[in-house]
């Protein structure tokens, strides 16, 4: 299949559903600190006796107060993982042309499109600073209901499903903790589930294979995708629990889907689960496995062709 951009008509569309479950602590920070997340500390009389607010780095949350994995974060870690794994395979699969972006504005639209189509599959799929990619990741909302704790030692919050983790920086020169480098952060514990939704449009088989390959990166034991901060320190591991992949793959399927949707509207008995994405054919597991195997085979072929 030729290389297509997102805006070049509607050739196919996919929705990849599933769940992501934390299997290690997770912290996707807002970059902000909350002085009221935990009670103020009462200093001893020897230390002046005043109370001091404790700053706690907060995690990003949805409107319902629950933790959230932003789609941008998911897309970012998948892209980063693919880039790392494929960087040495071949520039056709993964490359970066970010330094060319400045010069793009001097080109005509046709020239720009022609240039983009020479970019790697990864860039076409995920986009560049110059163009939008074909893969969208929705914000992954939390599926786990509110749960109470039997103790409040780590300041568990039953709505946001977070506790407060304290880490200490040790100065190697003295071997002791630096009090000013005590760092407190909200953390989502293992066992919390998030709803995963990725959509893709105008994907070649290889691009779809690439997305499925990347998703398996969450479950990699060797080099897993990690989300959020402190990935080098055991944080940010997520287990992918695959769900259905709704696939609108051919022009005939598109026509059929439109016609069926229109019919159901006319009869007035449309049920949510029979409309929209849910009315689409589901990509079989076998097809998924085959797509991943196909791209892996192509990676190996590319490797063999390397000088």
Partner 1 sequence: MHNPNPFDFVPFAGHPHLKTPEEFDALGPAVSGYLEVKLRALTPVHIVGYQEPGAKEGYSFLYRQDDRPCLPAASLRGCLRAFLEALTSGWVSQATPEYPKLFHKRHIGFRTFEPLPSDGKRMSRTSPPAVNSEFKPSIRPDNRIDVASYLLGMVIEPEGGQVAHEALARKAKVWIEDAFIDQQHLVKQKYWVPDIKHATQDAFMGGAKASASNWWYLQPAEIWRRNVRTRAGFSILAEFVGEKFWGRKFYFHQDPQRCMQFYHPNSNNWRYSPDRPFYPIQLECLEKEASTETFRIYLDKIPQPLAILLAVCLFPGLNIRHKLGYGKAYGYGSVELSLQSSHLRYDETRPPDLLQDFSAKLRDWMSLAWDQSKLAASEMPVALLDWQALGHLARILGRQEADKLLFTYPPFAKRNFMQPVTFEEMQDNAPAGIRVNGHVKVNAQQGRAFAENLFEIKQPIHFRVYQEKAKGWSQITSRKP
Partner 2 sequence: MNAPAYNNRIFAEGVHGVLRVDWRLRCVTPLAIRNGLTIGYDETKINKGRGLGVKFRWREPEESGYEVAILHFGYEIADGSLQTYHYVPASSLRGALRSWTINHLVRPEFRKDMMPPEHDDDPEEKKQKAYLNRMRTALNDPHSGYRPVASLFGLAFETREEARDLAHAGRLRVDTKRFAAAQPRAIAINGKLNDGAAGPANAQRQMTVRNPLDRMTHASKEGGLHHFLEFCAGESFAAQLTILNPRPADLGLLSFWVREMNEGLLRLGALASIGRGRVQITEQSYHLWQRADLTPLQRFESVPDTSTGEVLAGLWCAYRLEAARLPEFESSLREHV
Query: Can residue 176 be called a binding residue for partner 1 (CB under 8 A)?
Result: yes
Query: Can residue 170 be called a binding residue for partner 2 (CB under 8 A)?
Result: yes
Query: Can residue 48 be called a binding residue for partner 1 (CB under 8 A)?
Result: yes
**Alpha-carbon distance 247 to 14, whole Å?**
5
Q: Is 260 exposed, middle or buried (0-12, 13-18, 19+ CB in 10 A)?
A: middle
Contacts of 81 (CB under 8 A, 6+ apart): 214, 217, 223, 225
Give the Å distances, CA to CA, from 198 to 22, 74, 247: 18, 9, 12
Q: Which of 181, 180, 166, 144 is nearest to 37 (CA)?
A: 166
Part in contact with partner 2 (CB under 8 A); list of ranges 65-73, 170-178, 253-261, 269-277: 170-178
Q: Which does 150 bind (CB under 5 to 8 A by kind): partner 1, partner 2, none?
A: partner 2
E-only strand ranges, 150-204: 163-167, 170-171, 176-177, 183-187, 193-201
Q: How far is the CB of 47 from partner 1 (least distance, A)?
A: 6
- Return the number of the residue (190 or 244) whose C-beta is nearest partner 2: 190
**Alpha-carbon distance 164 to 157, whole Å?**
9
Q: Are 27 and 230 in contact (CB under 8 A)?
A: yes
Total interface residues for partner 2 by CB under 8 A: 63
Interface residue with partner 1, options 30, 42, 47, 166 (CB under 8 A): 47
| Contact letters for partner 2, residues 118-157 (x by CB under 8 A) | --------------------------x--xxxxxxxx-x-
Query: Can residue 300 be called a binding residue for partner 2 (CB under 8 A)?
Result: yes
| Contact letters for partner 2, residues 218-257 (x by CB under 8 A) | -xxxxx------xxxxxx-x--------------------
Q: Which does 250 bind (CB under 5 to 8 A by kind): partner 1, partner 2, none?
A: none
* Residue 240 CB neighbour total at 10 angstroms: 18
Binding site for partner 1 (CB under 8 A): 46-49, 174-180
């Amino acid at each position: 299949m030729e290389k297509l951009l997102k805006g070049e008509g509607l050739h196919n569309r996919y929705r990849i559903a599933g769940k992501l479950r934390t299997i290690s602590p997770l912290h996707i920070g807002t970059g902000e600190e909350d002085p009221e997340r935990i009670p103020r500390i009462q200093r001893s009389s020897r230390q002046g006796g005043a109370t001091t607010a404790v700053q706690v780095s907060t995690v990003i949350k949805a409107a319902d107060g629950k933790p959230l994995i932003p789609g941008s974060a998911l897309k970012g870690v998948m892209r980063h993982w693919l880039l790392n794994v494929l960087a040495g395979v071949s520039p056709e699969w993964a490359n970066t042309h970010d330094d060319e972006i400045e010069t793009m504005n001097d080109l005509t639209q046709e020239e720009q499109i022609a240039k983009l189509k020479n970019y790697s599959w990864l860039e076409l799929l995920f986009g560049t600073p110059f163009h939008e990619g074909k893969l969208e990741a929705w914000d992954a909302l939390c599926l786990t209901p509110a749960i109470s704790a039997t103790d409040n030692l780590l300041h568990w919050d039953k709505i946001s499903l977070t506790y407060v983790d304290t880490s200490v920086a040790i100065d190697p020169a003295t071997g002791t903790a630096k009090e000013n480098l005590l760092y407190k952060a909200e953390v989502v514990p293992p066992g919390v589930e998030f709803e995963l939704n990725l959509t893709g449009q105008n994907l070649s088989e290889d691009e779809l294979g690439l997305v499925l390959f990347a998703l398996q990166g969450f479950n990699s034991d060797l080099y897993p995708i990690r989300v959020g901060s402190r990935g080098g320190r055991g944080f940010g591991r997520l287990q992918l629990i695959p769900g259905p992949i709704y696939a609108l793959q051919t022009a005939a399927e598109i026509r059929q889907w439109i016609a069926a949707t229109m019919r159901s509207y006319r009869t007035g008995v449309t049920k949510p689960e029979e409309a929209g994405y849910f009315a689409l054919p589901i990509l079989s597991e076998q097809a998924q496995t085959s797509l991943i195997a196909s791209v892996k085979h192509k990676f190996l072929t590319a490797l063999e062709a390397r000088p």
